[in-house]
């Protein structure tokens, strides 16, 4: 409790899933959180539900379209007006259309551009607008949500993986360029997380297959990523910058054939 007392926090894509969970945990730790989302009604409803408690934390929901630079600017201005500044920026929103983001030969090039704007350019724009407020206050923390898709190749979603890889490298550049101003920049790279989107879009046997290939015998929950974001927002991580925390149940830590070899232990 009280790990984020009076921290002024902005989270994009915060009306549902991991973003909402992170916002809930941060408010419970005493943070003042601006929940930004394309769906203004959902953001307002989420903020209303998680506000309150005895930690002094509060939540405000606003609309934000992160592919629109003016909308991002309005989001940052709203946080400064509501809270008096920005200590933490969580560039969380992202994704791609899996029906258009295929392998390189079949990928829709318009989807490539949209995915780069949604994942990479939005992170650049929001960070550029938040940085002056952090620097003037003596420091802050930028947390970028990436993905294990940015760490290794895959058969599909070429644009998404490339965009997240770009954000991983951007994280290091921001950490290097503004560390002496007291600004830290880190990323979290989730693997499969049991969000409503995962349940709704993947069949049960595919989810079971992911679990089979994880080193840990489980699929992550939104809280697993949310608590990592709390850590990166807090002063507990004051000596960490330019890093990517991989939270994937050990999937990327092992050989690609580890899951198939596991059965040999039973012989």
Cα torsion 262, 251, 235, 24 to 10°: value is -100
Handedness of CA 84, 140, 68, 44 (dihedral sign): negative
| Residue of 160, 173, 178, 239 with catalytic role | 160
| Spatial separation of the C-alpha atoms in residues 152 and 143, rounded to whole Å | 21
Q: 160 catalytic, yes or no? A: yes
For the stretch 113-151, what's the b/e string if a residue is b when 16 or more beta carbons lie within 10 angstroms of its beta carbon? ebbbbbbbbbbebbbebbbebbeeeebbbbbbbbbbbbb
**Contact predicate 106/157, CB 8 Å:** no
Catalytic residue IDs: 160
């Amino acid at each position: 409790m009280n790990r984020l007392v009076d921290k002024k926090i902005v989270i994009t894509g915060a009306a549902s899933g991991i973003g909402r969970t992170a916002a809930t945990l941060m408010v419970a730790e005493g943070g003042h959180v601006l929940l930004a989302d394309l769906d203004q009604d959902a953001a307002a409803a989420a903020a209303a539900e998680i506000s309150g408690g005895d930690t002094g934390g509060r939540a405000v929901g606003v609309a934000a379209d992160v592919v629109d630079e003016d909308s991002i600017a309005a989001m940052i201005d709203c946080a400064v007006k509501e809270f008096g500044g920005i200590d933490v920026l969580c560039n969380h929103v992202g994704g791609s259309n899996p029906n258009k983001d295929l392998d390189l030969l079949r990928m829709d090039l318009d989807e490539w551009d949209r995915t780069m704007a949604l994942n990479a350019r939005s992170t650049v724009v929001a960070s550029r607008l938040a940085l002056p407020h952090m620097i003037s206050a003596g420091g802050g923390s930028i947390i970028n949500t990436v993905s294990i898709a940015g760490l290794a190749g895959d058969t599909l979603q070429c644009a998404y993986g490339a965009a997240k890889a770009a954000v991983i490298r951007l994280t290091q550049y921001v950490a290097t360029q503004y560390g002496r101003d007291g600004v830290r920049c880190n990323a979290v790279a989730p693997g499969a997380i049991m969000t409503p989107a995962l349940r709704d879009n993947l069949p049960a046997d595919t989810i079971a297959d992911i679990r089979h290939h994880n080193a840990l015998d489980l699929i992550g929950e939104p809280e697993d990523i949310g608590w990592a974001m709390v850590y990166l927002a807090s002063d507990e991580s004051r000596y960490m910058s330019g890093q990517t925390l991989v939270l994937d149940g050990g999937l990327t830590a092992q050989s690609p054939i580890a899951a198939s070899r596991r059965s040999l232990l039973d012989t």
